[in-house]
Amino acid sequence: MKIDAHQHFWQYDPVRDAWINSEMAAIQRSFSPADLKPLLDRNGFEGCVVVQSDQSEAENAFQLANAAQHSFIKGVVGWVDLQADNVGERLAYYRQFDKMKGFRHVLQGETNRALMLLPDFQRGIAALQQHGFTYDLLVFPDQLGYARELVANFPNQPFVLDHIAKPNIKAQQLNGWEQDLCALAAHENVWCKVSGMVTEAHWKQWQPQDFQPYLEVVFEAFGSARVLFGSDWPVCEVAGGYDAVVNLVQQYVATLSAHEQALFWGENAVAFYKL
């Protein structure tokens, strides 16, 4: 089964979605399951995992409603306030939804780069573990060291790193990111999504070979059993689109065995999110 392990839906709101700036005009609109389904079909995907793009519990209700209406949406990664006193109660509430698989906080945007190490945040991570939910790590390279400390504190909690931690592909920078990514990957409770790369490259001029060094690091560090494909649609529309993202990764994984390719394109997502 081929699974796109990272994509988004939203009803565009220019105030709430202010992160979609004028340079990203291509995605300054709403995106629905009906927009994604033809792209999945054309590329042979049988399902997807939708990931939160707004930090509210209203977002959870919106995405769970989408998932209830469309069988190809196999899982939802939502948001809860992990630092709230009642985080355990909120997670217990979400246990009733079979398609709610995990949660994410936009750590990359936090002024406190080490927010994930605060006691209240870690209490929330402990609650995730108790309720059987996964956690998506959305960080920039400067936060990888903090992420390593976090995952070391919770060896039984499944974590997945989104967008290979967004290295500066446009400038072809590997130093620092490579060392910190490999240190994070040494923790076997951490997986990695090969996603979000084109938006870290030159949006209009990238070539598939620009990503080769980064893919080599990721696959060597995490191994074939802990890497997942994600399109990061519709964000990828600003830098080439869905088919282009699939094709650039296909060129790289074509050298892997059939079993390794099957793991990457879907089986690992099924295993990680328990789809």
How large is the average pLDDT for residues 192-220?
Answer: 97
What pTM value is reported for the model?
0.97
How large is the average pLDDT for residues 175-183?
Answer: 97
> Residue 86: its pLDDT value, please?
98
The CATH number of residue 10's host domain is: 3.20.20.140
- List pLDDT tens digits, range 218-254: 999 999 999 999 999 999 999 999 999 999 999 999 9
Q: In sequence order, what DSSP letters do the residues of 34-55 get, joined into one string?
A: HHHHHHHHHTT--EEEEE--SS
How many domains is the chain partitioned into structurally?
1
Closest to 53 in 3D by CA, of 12, 83, 91, 100: 12
How large is the average pLDDT for residues 249-270?
Answer: 97
Torsion angle of C-alpha atoms 213, 238, 19, 195, degrees rounded to 10: -40
What percentage of the chain has pLDDT greater than the value 90? 100
For 35, half-sphere exposure in the C-beta direction (CA atoms, 13 angstrom radius) is 15
> Residue 240: its pLDDT value, please?
94
Assign 186 a pLDDT band (cuts: 50, 70, 90). very high
> Residue 241: its pLDDT value, please?
96
**Alpha-carbon gap, residue 10 to 122, rounded angstroms:** 29
- List pLDDT tens digits, range 16-25: 999 999 999 9
- List pLDDT tens digits, range 79-133: 999 999 999 999 999 999 999 999 999 999 999 999 999 999 999 999 999 999 9
Assign 178 a pLDDT band (cuts: 50, 70, 90). very high
**Alpha-carbon gap, residue 137 to 154, rounded angstroms:** 13
Instruction: Quote the domain boundaries for residue 81.
Output: 3-273
The amino acid sitting at 13 is: D
Assign 158 a pLDDT band (cuts: 50, 70, 90). very high
How large is the average pLDDT for residues 31-38?
Answer: 98
> Residue 225: its pLDDT value, please?
98
- Bridge-partner residues for 78, per DSSP? 103
> What's the mean pLDDT when you consider all of the chain?
97
Give percent helix, percent strand, percent coil of the chain, each to the nearest 5: 50, 15, 35
> Residue 142: its pLDDT value, please?
98
How large is the average pLDDT for residues 67-85?
Answer: 98
